Amino acid sequence: MTEQIEIPLSKNKLTLMLIGSFAFVAAGLWFVIKPPTISNPIIGNPTLILTVGIAAILFFGLCAFYVAKKLPDKTPGLIINDKGVTDNSGGVSVGLIPWSDIKAITLETAANQRFLMVIVKNPDEYIDRQKGFIKKKAMQMNYNTYGSPISISANGLKCNFDELYTTLQDKFNNNKA
């Protein structure tokens, strides 16, 4: 048996994400309660401003909720060992992903954010593990968009993205069946 790698959650990164989420919720509230007047006919459209405000409140409010739930969590964000990868890194975490289930680990980018997609043999099993409607839908969207329901980001972890990618790729290659 080789050593177990534990990557803890970064309380500093999570706190910054929480503050950022609150700032966007506040901006959304401003757009809804006292919308700015903009002379541009396209971006100054009151319906558009209201829609953007409501979307910001809902999306970033949900982000704030999940980040606030993660902050007191003492469980490592990621555990990598001979069994596989145990994911507790984000709002939609899946627990243990055995090496035997993993077909590939790919790098993806969306909105200038890099993340890893863990391509698994049985994606529906991981989607079905989720109890909440929102988490299931998020995983289904990941699956439809990227080919896997499982994404891992370094955003809430005490490591940078390149370290995360190299570590996971190395361990995956060492444990490939």
Instruction: Give me the sign of the Cα torsion angle 137, 142, 147, 150.
Output: negative
Report the C-alpha gap between 114 and 133 in whole angstroms. Answer: 25
pTM exceeding the 0.85 threshold for the entire prediction: no
Model pLDDT, residue 16? 94
Dihedrals phi, psi of 60, to nearest 5 degrees: -75, -25
Higher-pLDDT residue of 34 and 43 is 34
Instruction: Please say if the pLDDT value at position 46 is more than 90.
Output: no
Q: Angle CA(133)–CA(86)–CA(59) in degrees, nearest 5? A: 35
Average pLDDT of 51-77?
A: 92
Percent of the chain predicted with pLDDT > 90: 63
To the nearest 10 degrees (0 to 180), the angle between helices 46-70 and 11-33 is 150
Beta bridge partners, 118, equal 105, 150
Instruction: Please say if the pLDDT value at position 37 is more than 60.
Output: yes
Percent of the chain predicted with pLDDT > 70: 98
Rg (CA), the chain: 19
Query: Looking at 39-53, 67-81, 137-151, 154-168, which range is the least confident one?
Result: 39-53
Instruction: Please say if the pLDDT value at position 54 is more than 60.
Output: yes
Average pLDDT of 76-88?
A: 92
Helices and strands in the chain: count of H runs, count of E runs: 5, 7
Average pLDDT of 86-105?
A: 89
Model pLDDT, residue 2? 60
Answer whether 153's CB lies under 8 Å from 111's CB.
Answer: no
pLDDT in tens, 104-127: 999 999 888 899 999 999 999 999
- Using pLDDT thresholds of 50, 70 and 90, give the confidence band for residue 84: very high
